[in-house]
Amino acid sequence: MTLYRNGGKVYIASESWNRTRAAIHAIFEQEVTETGSMKFLRLVLDDLTTIKRSIDDFLEQEKTLDVLYNIAGVGVTKAAGRTMQGHELKIGVEYRDQLLGSFSVYEATTSSTNGNSYESR
């Protein structure tokens, strides 16, 4: 909220557009700012093949990233599931995929300032 309130552009990465839209509208009702903005970024953390696409979508719109918060989690009802690659869901979503995404977006946004190119690993 502080970033948005102070004019920041905030991306909310989520699998669900409907839930994200509801969250954005709830925030808009509480906080009105003329300079801040919020955007949806589709991110499916239980499938490794979608992470690069999400990062590429972000990089089409932005060249830098100032702050990254990772707060994804698996609900109790889904905790016994598996990722699309067959890994334990909790490990995949809460650790592996967030870490991969964080490193990839960090590499991409910092390399744009020093002339290096971005390659997904």
pLDDT given at position 116: 44
104: how many CB neighbours lie within 10 A of its CB?
A: 20
pLDDT given at position 79: 56
**pLDDT tens track of the chain, all 121 residues?**
788 888 888 888 888 899 889 988 988 888 777 788 889 988 887 788 888 888 889 889 988 888 777 766 666 556 568 888 888 877 777 766 677 777 777 777 776 554 444 444 4
Q: Which domains does the chain have, with CATH numbers?
A: 2-114 (3.40.50.720)
Q: What is the pTM of this model?
A: 0.68
pLDDT given at position 97: 64
pLDDT given at position 115: 47
For residue 41, the SS3 value is: strand
pLDDT given at position 111: 62
- Tokens found for residue 78: 């889904």
H-run or E-run covering 105 = helix 97-114
